[in-house]
């Protein structure tokens, strides 16, 4: 294990600071350097409005996200009907007021650099 110093720190998602688990998915959180970074892992069939909305208490996701897709694909639809497919290597910004779901038969994994502290949290 890497040393845990004030001026030098290494963490891995294999040992996150917090894990938020919900049906067909999990959101792992690491806090470091004043940032909260999240890793989302969603199984095929996962949909935000079905599996996370009950936790958040809203019909659509109201969290702002900046992240990067690691593997798999997900769709995102905004309240005005605009929709996007996010693929591996894509960096994304998604504003509040959206739904999202896994596309295809592969698990979707993404890193979140903005919004992680508020995601899948009541």
CB 79 within 8 A of CB 94: no
Percent of the chain with pLDDT over 90: 87
pTM value is: 0.91
63-78: per-residue pLDDT in tens?
A: 999 999 999 999 999 9
35 to 12, 30, 61, 82, 115: CA distances (angstroms): 14, 8, 21, 30, 10
Query: What CATH number is attached to the domain comprising 44?
Result: 2.60.120.10
At residue 100, does pLDDT exceed 60? yes
Helix (H) or strand (E) holding 83: strand 83-86
Give the residue-averaged pLDDT of 103-118. 96
pLDDT of residue 4: 58
Give the residue-averaged pLDDT of 3-14. 82
Residue 63 lies in a domain: yes
Task: Tell me the residue range of the domain where 54 lies.
Answer: 18-118
């Amino acid at each position: 294990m890497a040393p845990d110093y004030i001026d030098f720190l290494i963490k891995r998602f294999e040992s996150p600071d917090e894990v938020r688990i919900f049906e067909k998915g999990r959101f792992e959180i690491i806090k470091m350097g004043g940032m909260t970074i999240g890793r989302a892992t969603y199984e095929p069939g996962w949909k935000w409005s079905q599996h996370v909305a009950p936790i958040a208490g809203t019909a659509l996701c109201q969290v702002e996200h900046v992240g990067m897709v690691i593997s798999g694909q997900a769709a995102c639809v905004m309240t005005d009907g605009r929709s996007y497919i996010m693929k591996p290597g894509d960096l994304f910004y998604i504003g509040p007021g959206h739904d999202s779901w896994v596309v295809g038969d592969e698990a979707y994994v993404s890193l979140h650099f903005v919004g992680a502290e508020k995601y899948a949290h009541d």
